Structure 1
Amino acid sequence: MSRRKKLTLAAIGTIVALVLGVTVWVLVANDFKFHEERVTIQGPRGELHGVLARPAASSGPSGLVVFVHGDGPANASRDDAYKPLWDAFAKAGFASLSWDKPGVDGAPGDWLDQSMQDRAAEVDAAIAWAHTRDDIDTTRIGAWGVSQAGWVLPEVARARPDLRFMILVGPAINWLRQGEFNLRADLAAAGASPDRVASELGRRARQIQLLKAGADYATYRASGVDPDPMTAERWGFVSRNFRSDSTADIARISIPTLLILGGRDRNVDVAETERVYRATMPPNTLTVKDFPDGTHSMTRNDIEYNPDDLRAVGRTIFAPRSIYVPGYLDALRVFAKRQAG
């Protein structure tokens, strides 16, 4: 055999070994301890297309954690970002239930046509559906929600006595105050000048005036208040929900609640959130976990704000659990486990 042929075969062997090694690594890193089942739930305004992730090691009925998305379009697994969370809950003996938002991945409806009350009604329907399943222990139903879920789950907790615990990640208190905080934080991150900050806040104030006046979409567009205007659907969504404030519902929460807050959250004023929850809820029902390096979604700072960076993409594929700040997944598992008894 010629030297060139030997070198070629050696190179091919090395490439094959690398491919096999990477494949094995990805399989191991994505070896989650649950089984997924596609389910259909009759929601208040049509079918909900969901995923039930049951613990692989379960020998009997499992507890259930109902997932509630934040803002924006989202499929049931949030493009697989929820899977490390489902795995954490599975290790605590809980199944996880999540569904595609209306209009996402072929689900009927349009999530932009919803109010926060509509979203709460979906959760209510999902919990009612859980009672039809023999593989779910309905004495152990909890909920996990992020961001906008803070205007949804407190209402559900008030209305459903069979909801036994909640986990809220970066929930806001007041829609309008949250929007201003988010705007200021984004401008600060971009290094905006004081003049630009003042200009943007003025634009926002004019937009709020239109909302409070009940302006239709044509009036909003004609005002020219936004150089990059919202779509008609988004304007309708904001018009329905901009008065959202969770303070009154928080005061009625009587179940164990884990409040998870990130020190690098640009979307929500976590200091206000913590202050309101501590002042409003009974101290024996509230647990607060602060993660100084956590972002709005509890992902690492370099993942949340640089999603297209190759290192971020690599972590998502090769080490999906590591996209979250250290300690977050353990906090979910430990809190859920405590509710299992």
Structure 2
Amino acid sequence: MPRPPRADTDAGPCPGFDRPTVSSRRRSAVRLIVLTLLIAGLAAGTPTSPAAAAPVLTESEVTFRGDGVELSGTVLAPAGGGRRPGIVLVTGAGPGPRDDHRAEAEAFARAGVVTLIYDKRTRGYSLTERDYTVLANDALAGVRLLRGRTDVDPTQVGLWGHSEGTWVGEDAASRSSDVAFLVLLGASGVPPLQQQVWSTGESIRYAGAGGSLADRLPAAIYGLLTTAGGFAEPYFDPVPRLARIQIPVLAIWGEHDTSSPPAESAAILARAVRGNGNANVTLRTLAGGQHDGRTTTDGFDEGAEFAAPYPDMVGTWVTSREPGPDDPAPRQARPSTPVTPTPLWLQLTAPALMLLAALAYLLIAALRRFRGRTRPPLRAPARLLGVAGPLAVLGPLTYGFVGIIGTQDVGPVLAGRAVVWSVMQVLAAAVVAATIWLLAGLWRARQSVGPTDRARLSLLAASGVAFVPWALEWGLLL
């Protein structure tokens, strides 16, 4: 292939044109430089379009008195004069530092809404203790703070709540005329215990496991936690509060919300609010959105960006507060189920009896062997029950609290079943078989078994009988 001509040859850059002379090239270069500088100067002198420039925000640190505590927060506001709408952001479950929702706060402020974010109280709020009425009082104190600002229209201050914060916002809005509107993101229309059991079941299924592990264990483990006092506000019912709300409501769910039952919650919310004569309710679904409004592919992964058009839709709606047509309901494969926990004493009877009977049998057997006495009667079924029984009751408790609640890991899954859970189900089946075997042996040998052996074997058999309904509730025999 011939090389291209050099710059100093007579060949022109394009066929049919003469190559420019050196002087003409210099003049062209000068003209180009002058033209470039002129364009740059004009661009610098032309004012930027207001729509293209990001609005300037002001930021101020504030403190205010909540329900018996001093709370700290940040107010973000658009620069400039005039009174604007205001909104107080109420975080979901957890410690709730103000920066958790700073991205939303900045977006709302850029849309022209003065926004307060604040640190959740630390006193009276923990895994085992919280009161949504007290938290609502804190939020209302934030509303009063905004209503007192010179850049806020006191008649246009509302609340925004996410997840657990929606229950707080609903309670506040149902009790105070200071709240002008309510925005809800990821609201649950069912009580916290029912919502948590549903969400945990969805997580287990997402891990590839199913069956009784997903259908029964979440209700059993959270039911036990509730009766032991380890689950705060388990039966909080949002419906009566929703029915009292007579202000504009914007309710938003992610299409792939796996924390609150979204389709079910949307229907409950619409029925409760509209059923009492409030027609200003708008339901929105974020395509490709998660529980917190960020992007997701399946509800369990989470992107860094918000799903469009959130949060811009909030700023637009707050300005007009006009109702619009409802979006199609979010996806929800399975409904949630009401949870009625078994009383604590009954929950603990079977495990306690099993551990006591097994320990007594094994200790007496070891003592008997040490003394060189004769082999005890019905040794095989009794030993099987004495060893498998404690494992069958301690295993699910440990797996439930440590694996399901603690690390949220079901472990290895084979053919749609969690391997650890399958092992526990085998142990449960062994306990039932050993119980039947032992009862049958006691009946056959009722004339030959001495009173001491009969007593300890009967206690062991009774623990096996008590184990059956407990194991059914926990899903071990399903």
Q: TM-score, normalised by structure 1?
A: 0.71
Q: Which residue of 2 aligns with 1:12?
A: none
Letter in structure 1 aligned against 2:116: L
Q: Which residue of 2 aligns with 1:284?
A: 279
Tell me how far 1:196 sits from its aligned partner: 2.9
RMSD in angstroms over aligned alpha carbons?
2.4
Q: How does 1:46-195 map to 2 (within 5 A)?
A: 46-56=69-79, 58-78=80-100, 81-83=101-103, 85-103=104-122, 109=123, 111-112=125-126, 113-173=129-189, 174-195=191-212
Q: 1:52 to 1:72 in 2, by over 3 A?
A: same
Q: Which residue of 1 aligns with 2:247?
A: 255
Tell me how far 1:90 sits from its aligned partner: 2.3
Letter in structure 2 aligned against 1:111: Y
Tell me how far 1:64 sits from its aligned partner: 0.8
Structure 2 counterpart SS, 1:171: coil
Letter in structure 2 aligned against 1:194: G
Tell me how far 1:91 sits from its aligned partner: 3.7
Tell me how far 1:206 sits from its aligned partner: 4.8
Give the distance between the partners of 2:271 and 2:83, measured in 1 at CA.
Answer: 37
8 A Cα contact 1:36 1:51, kept in partner: yes
Give the distance between the partners of 1:299 and 1:206, measured in 2 at CA.
Answer: 30
Q: Which residue of 2 aligns with 1:202?
A: 217
Structure 1 counterpart SS, 2:269: helix
Structure number with the bigger relative contact order (C-alpha 8 A, sep ≥ 6) is 1
Q: Which residue of 2 aligns with 1:211?
A: 226
Letter in structure 1 aligned against 2:89: F
Q: 1:203 to 1:75 in 2, by over 3 A?
A: closer
Give the distance between the partners of 2:69 and 2:116, measured in 1 at CA.
Answer: 17
Q: Which residue of 1 aligns with 2:411?
A: none
Tell me how far 1:292 sits from its aligned partner: 3.2
Q: Which runs of 4+ in 1 moved over 6 A?
A: none
Letter in structure 2 aligned against 1:71: A
Task: Please give the per-residue CA displacement for 1:258-316, whole angstroms capped at 9, x wherever unaligned.
Answer: 01011211101011111111212226210011123111001011697446xxxx5xxx5
Task: Please give the per-residue CA displacement for 1:69-120, whole angstroms capped at 9, x wherever unaligned.
Answer: 0011221121xx432x2233224421000101224xxxxx363143111110
Tell me how far 1:202 sits from its aligned partner: 3.0
Most deviating of 32-41 and 202-211: 202-211
Structure 2: segments with no counterpart, 5+ residues: 1-53, 323-478
Structure 1 counterpart SS, 2:252: strand
Most deviating of 164-173 and 327-336: 327-336
Letter in structure 1 aligned against 2:176: R
8 A Cα contact 1:33 1:87, kept in partner: no
8 A Cα contact 2:256 2:296, kept in partner: yes
Q: Which residue of 2 aligns with 1:230?
A: none
